[in-house]
Amino acid sequence: MKFLVTGGAGFIGSAVIRHLINDKKYSVFNVDCLTYAGNLASLHSVSKSDLYHFQKLDICNSDGLRVVFDRYQPDVVLHLAAESHVDRSIDAPAVFLQTNIMGTYALLQAALEYWRTAPLDVKQRFRFHHVSTDEVFGDLALGDAPFTEMATFAPSSPYAASKAASDHLVHAWHRTYGLPVVISNCSNNYGPYHFPEKLIPHTILNALSGRELPVYGDGQQIRDWLFVEDHARALCLVAEKGALGETYNLGGGSERRNIDVVKSICAILDDLAPSLRQPQLASYSDLIAFVKDRPGHDRRYAINAYKIRDQLGWSPKETFESGLRKTVAWYLENEGWWRPILNGEYMLQRIGDAR
């Protein structure tokens, strides 16, 4: 199998590529334009493999996409390229509309042209897997049942709205043009190689530096957490065996309040790294500080993942407790990955790597 992965230098994309090459032994062509969150160091373990290929390319570049399709002849497109940080979408929504909507459109068009003219055997096995988020569904009240695949779209942020629009585009290209597609909507991911702006790595690294651990509002926002390596397995399974035209919700079944996530990280750090804690602190949790909530902040997300469990036999291997402990331990052991991000050196390193 030959996979064309967009956004493969990102957090989820790099986990997928490591899984495809190390566990599945599939060939992978990684297309990534290397925005601030793209980091080729996350792919160091597979970068020398004969199964791995990389091209720096913006998915909005239609001509460049056509060249990639013609050159690589993929069996599967796994579309992960996206702007994904909610705070950034509030401050600067235009880039989210451009990448998440127009970029998805350009990729769909390139895939459609390729699929229509592909040899019959390639055409029959071709799949376009669009990776999306549970944020397209909006938020839930405490007593509401978790989102199913039939939930109504009600996005709250510019990011979520742009992803909802891209989901609709993929459905339309399937219904109108017959493009063989599958879609997945995932809950919050966490794990190794997560960019430090997100809640869990931000909390870990701030704690290790003795800085404030900011928690939005009252910290009662609830998210369903999914370990990224479990997500990578699910994405490959959906791409290979999911029913065409169908959507699959991928969740960890691990709802947690934000404040409890932060406190859990502090407790793990108290256990694994007490010697790194500042002497005046009885616990890393002493650094927790509540800050002004962000606009339109959804209160709760929750995923019902029965469909992929019942139809494809997938379930997470990690509990939230085991996955979070692995994540904290990874950041403690891999300062060589995150330190260049914090000081900006990785921006210079990846320029050379991409040449």
Pick from 280, 263, 275, 258: which is nearest to 208 by CA?
275
Let me know: does 246 contact 239? Beta carbons within 8 Å: no
Q: Which residues contact 77 (CB under 8 A, 6 or more apart)?
A: 3, 4, 6, 107, 111, 127, 128, 129
Reduced DSSP (H G I as helix, E B as strand, rest coil) percent helix, strand, coil of the chain, to 5: 50, 15, 35
Q: How far apart are CA 304 and CA 250, in angstroms?
A: 8
Q: Could you give the residue numbers annotated as active site?
A: 134-135, 159
Looking at residue 220, its amino acid is: Q
- Alpha carbon 212 to chain centroid distance? 26
Of the candidates 177, 232, 155, 156, which has an alpha carbon nearest to the alpha carbon of residue 167?
155
Only one residue has tokens 């040899």, namely 119
Strands (E), 94-158: 127-133
Q: Parallel, antiparallel, or unpaired for β 181-186 and 127-133?
A: parallel
For residues 217 and 293, the answer to whether their CB atoms sit within 8 Å is: yes
Tell me the C-alpha distance between 8 and 355, whole Å.
Answer: 16
The residue to which tokens 């991000």 are assigned: 341
Phi, psi of 218 (to 5 degrees): -95, 0
Residue 328 CA, chain-centre distance (Å), reads 18
3 state DSSP class of 329? helix
- Strand 181-186 and strand 255-257: the pairing is unpaired
| Residue-by-residue DSSP string for 194-210 | --TTSHHHHHHHHHHHT
Query: What is residue 151's DSSP assignment?
Result: P
**Which helix (DSSP H) or strand (DSSP E) does residue 114 occupy?**
helix 104-117
